[in-house]
Every structure is written in structure tokens, then in C-alpha cells.
């Protein structure tokens, strides 16, 4: 009991002072090590070195830089222009384009925020001008942006794999089908709403010949090339995630310079922002590593597992509780911070109950995606609100995103009933 008092009290007291979350986690872990492990705080140094010396973790800053380069290059505008004619006469029109381009951009950015910002900056002004319902527009952008965390390359999978020593290639392969499934469900919802209330999405009576549509897709070949180079090299076993990320950065810089409007100044800005973002993530990883060490040395995961086994709730009952806890915490923490903070307990707990580590990675990623669109912290909501220049309030964006929130929950149920949806592709390729 004294351990839990110190753990919860330490986190609340440190984080409550406004201290950075990484520092709060690390200091709490150091105190626990000092009090309950005979002053073995020095063990934290070795644990931190082992994590930051991980070859897998070195891929994270490269993928962040890749996304930042694409965000500043104007490539999202070209992709949006290429996809727009495809859905011109389908009920929902450009709302479908939002989801399709978010899916495509998510396959090269790895970040939910980058995806929402890149697509939203192009889509919102265009759709507002055409008379689309603004709540539907912002809902599709905030919801579609979450696909950036699930469709590989994903920062969530990279960090999860580095912290749990799980295959990045298998995680990337596992995210493909669930990501496409959730994107398809988003489109089905948009189609139904547009058919019920046509005024939400004015239809363009003028269609384009198939030849022109196919010609438009010719504009996105550089993005396809980038996806194949990054994801294909990892899944195909030709490169490690770090090597593939480095290759992706080089290709992205070349493509964004020739095909987009990347300038040396924008490249420097992308590098600068990437360093800041990775520094914040790295600080979180440092703190979580210390806390995870203190928890594991004391055998807390095993104690929790024994308590769970004695509770009689069963594996799926415990899984439900874990998901509910993530949903509640997602209201107060951003997705990656929440995952890093909770993995020391949830990973050994769920694997001990017999769940596949790859499947757990997909599940946790979907749950933290929900946090991206859950107020008050939901970062996607804030990004989209900023893109509207205050025309749509944060509350309206949150309400408009509720259907996409529900679809994510439905996807969790489907994946729990049919785990093969996430596992068959990794098993096939690896």
C-alpha cells in the first residue's frame, strides 16, 4: 500500500506543480528506487543508457523530420487536388477526399498532428468556399487525422516497439488493415450522413472523364514512391526502420524540393521543429524508463497480474477495464505521453493474460487515437480549431468528432472479436 501511496502521491505532487511530465515520472521513479530498493537509484542510469542506445529509437527523430518536411512542402495540396475528382459525384464529395488524403498522408508522416494540419490547411478553406457544412468538415479532418498514428510509419508503433522490444516491421504490417478498415468506416458514415441530409455536402453535378481522373493520380506518384521506399523496405526486410527512415528523409527532401515548394529556410525550420518535438518525446521516454525500472524491480506487474487472476474477471474483462482507463486518461494526456507513461504496467499485464504483443500495440494505438480527439487536451481538436481561425469553436469541433470517436470504439470491438485482422499480415510477411 505504501508503494501505491508514494507512486500516486509523487506523480500528483510533481505534475501538479506544473513540472514537465517526463520530470514528474523520472523523479517519482527515483524516489521509489531510493525508498524501496535500498537506495539503488544508480540503476536508473544504466536503464536510460540502454533505451537511448537502442537502434530502433533512433528512427523516431528521422520519421518526425520526414513528416515535418512534407508538412512544409505543399505536397498535401497536390495530393488533395489529385483525389478530389474521384469523389466529386459521390454523396459526401470532398469529405471523402479528406479521409482518403489523410490516409495517404498518414502513410508517410507517422504523426496524427502533421496529418490533420497538412490536410486541414488545404481542405477547410476550399470546402468552406463551396458551402459544405463546417461541422462536418472539421469532424472529418479531426477524425481523419488520427489515421496518421495507426497507418505505418507510425510514431506510436516506433516508440511502442522500442520500449517493449517488439518487432517494428510486424507492428507496421499489423497497422495496415485496421487503418484501412477505420478509414473505410469513416467514409461509410460520411456517405450515410450525406444521403440523409444532402445539404451537408453539396454535390458537383459535373463529373470528369475517367481519363482525367487517372491523369490526376499521376500527380501523386512521388508520394507513392516514398511510401514504397519506406514501408516496402521495412516490411520486405531490406532495411531496418532507422535505415528506411533515413532513406525516406532523403527522398522526401528531394521530392519536396523538385515537386513541392521546399526551400532551404523551410528545411531548416523543419529540422528545428523536429529537434524540439523529439526532445519532448525523449524526455518523456527518459522519465518513463526510470519509473518502469522502479516498478519492475519491485515486481509490481507480477503482483497486479496475480491480483487480476484472483479477481475472476477474465482476460477480456481486464482488457475492458484497461481500455476504459485509457479513455479517461486520454482526456488529460496527449496520446504518446499516455502510452509511454502506462506501458510499464499495461504491457506486462496484457501479455501475461495471453494477448499478443503485436495486437496490444495496435489496440493501444487506436485507444490513444481516441485521446487525440477527446477534450480538453485532444490535440487534433486544437489544431483544427486553429486552422479555422476561430470560425469553429473547440467545443463544436469536439461534438462534430464524436461519430469518429464511436467508430474507433467499434473498431476496438471488431479487433477484439477478430484479432486476425491485425495479425494475419504480420504472420504472412514475417
Across residues 107-133, what is the average pLDDT? 76
pLDDT at 367 over 60: yes
- Inter-residue contact 376 to 151 (CB < 8 Å): no
- The DSSP-derived string for 336-370 is HHHHHHHHHHHHHHHHHTT--HHHHHHHHHHHHHH
Share of the chain above pLDDT 70, in %: 82
What distance in Å separates the CA atoms of residue 172 and residue 415, rounded to the nearest whole number? 16
Please give the model's pTM, rounded to 2 decimal places. Answer: 0.79
* pLDDT recorded at residue 361: 92
- pLDDT tens by residue, 330-358: 776 767 777 877 887 788 888 888 899 99
pLDDT at 380 over 60: yes
- Inter-residue contact 101 to 232 (CB < 8 Å): no
- pLDDT tens by residue, 322-333: 888 888 777 767
- Inter-residue contact 98 to 76 (CB < 8 Å): no
What distance in Å separates the CA atoms of residue 68 and residue 276, rounded to the nearest whole number? 12
Per the listing, cell 514475417 goes with 430
* pLDDT recorded at residue 308: 64
- Inter-residue contact 127 to 139 (CB < 8 Å): no
Across residues 107-125, what is the average pLDDT? 74
Q: Which residues of 240-250 are buried (b: 16+ CB within 10 A; e: fewer)?
A: bbbebbbbbbe
pLDDT at 302 over 70: no
Cis peptide before 69 (omega within 30 of 0): no
Q: What phi, psi does 327 have (nearest 5°)? A: -65, -40
* pLDDT recorded at residue 225: 77
- pLDDT tens by residue, 181-197: 999 999 999 999 888 88
Where are the chain's structural domains?
A: 54-277+307-429
Q: Residue 421, Cα to own-chain centre: how many angstroms? A: 19
pLDDT at 7 over 70: no
232 DSSP assignment: I
* The most confident of 55-64, 105-114, 369-378, 392-401, by mean pLDDT: 392-401
Residue 53: Cβ within 10 Å count: 9
| Max intra-chain CA distance, the chain | 75
Of the candidates 70, 126, 119, the one whose C-alpha atom is nearest the C-alpha of residue 93 is 126
Provide the pLDDT confidence category of residue 22 given band limits of 50, 70 and 90. Answer: confident
Amino acid at each position: 500500500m505504501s508503494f501505491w501511496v508514494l507512486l500516486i502521491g509523487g506523480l500528483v505532487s510533481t505534475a501538479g506543480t506544473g513540472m514537465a511530465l517526463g520530470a514528474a515520472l523520472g523523479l517519482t521513479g527515483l524516489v521509489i528506487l531510493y525508498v524501496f530498493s535500498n537506495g539503488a537509484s544508480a540503476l536508473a542510469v544504466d536503464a536510460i543508457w540502454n533505451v537511448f542506445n537502442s537502434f530502433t529509437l533512433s528512427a523516431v527523430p528521422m520519421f518526425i523530420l520526414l513528416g515535418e518536411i512534407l508538412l512544409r512542402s505543399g505536397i498535401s495540396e497536390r495530393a488533395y487536388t489529385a483525389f478530389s475528382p474521384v469523389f466529386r459525384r459521390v454523396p459526401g464529395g470532398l469529405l471523402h477526399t479528406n479521409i482518403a488524403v489523410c490516409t495517404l498522408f498518414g502513410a508517410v508522416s507517422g504523426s496524427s498532428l502533421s496529418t490533420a494540419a497538412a490536410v486541414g490547411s488545404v481542405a477547410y478553406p476550399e470546402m468552406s468556399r463551396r458551402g459544405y457544412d463546417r461541422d462536418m468538415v472539421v469532424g472529418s479532418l479531426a477524425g481523419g487525422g488520427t489515421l496518421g498514428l495507426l497507418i505505418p510509419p507510425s510514431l506510436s508503433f516506433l516508440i511502442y516497439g522500442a520500449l517493449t522490444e517488439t518487432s517494428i516491421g510486424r507492428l507496421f504490417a499489423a497497422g495496415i488493415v485496421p487503418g484501412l478498415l477505420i478509414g473505410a468506416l469513416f467514409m461509410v458514415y460520411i456517405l450515410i450522413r450525406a444521403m440523409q441530409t444532402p445539404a451537408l455536402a453539396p454535390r458537383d453535378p459535373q463529373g470528369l472523364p475517367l481519363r482525367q481522373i487517372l491523369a490526376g493520380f499521376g500527380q501523386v506518384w512521388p508520394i507513392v514512391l516514398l511510401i514504397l521506399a519506406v514501408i516496402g523496405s521495412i516490411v520486405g526486410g531490406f532495411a531496418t526502420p532507422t535505415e528506411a527512415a533515413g532513406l525516406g528523409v532523403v527522398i522526401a527532401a528531394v521530392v519536396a524540393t523538385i515537386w513541392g515548394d521546399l526551400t532551404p529556410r523551410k528545411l531548416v525550420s523543419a529540422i528545428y521543429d523536429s529537434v524540439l518535438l523529439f526532445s519532448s518525446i525523449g524526455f518523456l521516454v527518459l522519465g518513463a524508463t526510470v519509473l518502469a525500472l522502479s516498478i519492475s524491480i519491485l515486481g509490481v506487474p507480477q503482483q497486479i497480474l496475480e491480483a487480476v487472476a484472483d479477481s475472476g474477471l477474465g482476460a477480456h474483462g481486464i482488457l475492458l477495464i484497461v481500455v476504459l482507463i485509457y479513455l479517461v486518461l486520454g482526456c488529460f494526456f496527449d496520446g504518446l505521453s499516455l502510452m509511454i507513461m502506462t506501458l510499464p504496467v499495461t504491457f506486462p499485464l496484457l501479455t501475461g493474460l495471453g494477448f499478443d504483443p503485436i495486437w496490444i500495440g495496435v489496440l493501444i494505438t487506436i485507444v490513444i487515437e481516441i485521446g487525440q480527439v477527446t477534450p480538453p487536451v485532444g490535440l487534433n481538436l486544437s489544431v483544427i480549431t486553429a486552422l479555422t481561425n476561430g470560425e469553429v469553436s473547440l467545443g463544436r469541433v469536439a461534438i462534430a468528432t464524436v461519430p469518429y470517436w464511436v467508430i474507433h470504439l467499434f473498431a476496438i470491438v471488431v479487433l477484439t472479436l477478430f484479432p486476425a485482422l491485425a495479425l494475419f499480415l504480420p504472420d504472412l510477411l514475417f
